[in-house]
Structure 1
């Protein structure tokens, strides 16, 4: 007789996200996962396969959740400059979350070593950059952003700035510095 799962898959994936996000892939052992997720080692293997498959599923879940949040943000009917500010501020440290961004951390740790991770990270960056491109075009169509701005170049710039903030937040203790950087980024749109 088959055993029924004693856990909800998305709940344990969320725990795996937290642990991988805090420690990274290489520093996280299977025993760490067993202890942190609160399920048996056999259950991890039966449900997810190996550590790498679990990592990829956690990364995919995180990416999907983050993309939905960003998509919701850019679909709000607010001035585009305000939406870009909110987008950049989403990089700021949040209570109860590990520092930085799980996608960015994964790209830095494994991007050159693991083609599957590199592909997921690159795809995530491309989707985010497309959202920024659409925001810039919308801002220009509404007359909220200068028509002389090149949407492609500005979306590249905003993406790079956002990634920089998501990396910098891991070590920055001065939130005022991050706020000042965001203000400077926004001034390039004037």
Structure 2
């Protein structure tokens, strides 16, 4: 007879995601995961596979959360610049709900050079983020908020690069005022 799961799979996946985000892949032991997730080792293996498989699932979940959050902001009828400002503010204004920095950036610097699967996921995540920015900039150009003579792809690449840099600073710095100044300078590129 098969036992039913005694835990919410998504809830424990989020706990694992936060632990990997905070400590990194290498510094997170299997025992750390078992303890933090509140599941038995056997349940972890049965549900998520090995540590690497669990990590890959957390990166995928992270991407889904970011996409949902941006979609929600767009759905609120915000302008393109307001959504871009939200993205900057979200990565700068860290609170107790999440560790500082970004799971993608942390994983890129820790694993991407030696783990092709993680590298592919991280690159896809960065590409997705840049595509969202291109779409937002084009939306702003259509509404007249952003000048049409500016190349949306170049602007998006520049904004994305700044966002990646700020994600690193968010992990290493507490000078939020400076980070907001950097964000302001980047957003100013969108003006006429």
TM-score range normalised by the length of the shorter chain: over 0.9
The residue correspondences of 1:1-190 to structure 2 (distance < 5 A) are 1-96=1-96, 97-190=98-191
Distance 1:2 1:82 in 2: 50
Distance 2:165 2:74 in 1: 20
Distance 2:58 2:90 in 1: 20
Distance 2:39 2:79 in 1: 46
- Deviation digits for residues 44-88 of structure 1, max 9, x if unmatched? 111111110111111111111111112222344223222221121
Distance 1:28 1:178 in 2: 29
Distance 1:76 1:157 in 2: 25
What 5-or-longer segments of structure 1 have no aligned partner? none
Q: Tell whether the 8 Å contact from 2:70 to 2:83 is kept in structure 1 after alignment.
A: no
Distance 2:105 2:70 in 1: 15
Give the number of equivalent residue pairs.
190
Q: Which moved more, 1:68-77 or 1:25-34?
A: 68-77
Distance 1:148 1:77 in 2: 24
- Deviation digits for residues 79-116 of structure 1, max 9, x if unmatched? 32222211211111322111101111111111111111
Distance 1:187 1:95 in 2: 26
What 5-or-longer segments of structure 2 have no aligned partner? none
Q: Tell whether the 8 Å contact from 1:93 to 1:100 is kept in structure 2 after alignment.
A: no
Distance 1:107 1:46 in 2: 27
Q: Tell whether the 8 Å contact from 1:74 to 1:131 is kept in structure 2 after alignment.
A: no
Distance 2:26 2:103 in 1: 14
Distance 1:110 1:93 in 2: 26
Distance 1:48 1:79, change over 3 A: closer
Distance 1:20 1:80 in 2: 32
Residue 157 of structure 1 and its aligned partner are, at CA, apart by 0.6
Distance 2:66 2:143 in 1: 27
The CA RMSD over aligned residues, in Å, is: 1.3
Q: Tell whether the 8 Å contact from 2:155 to 2:189 is kept in structure 1 after alignment.
A: no
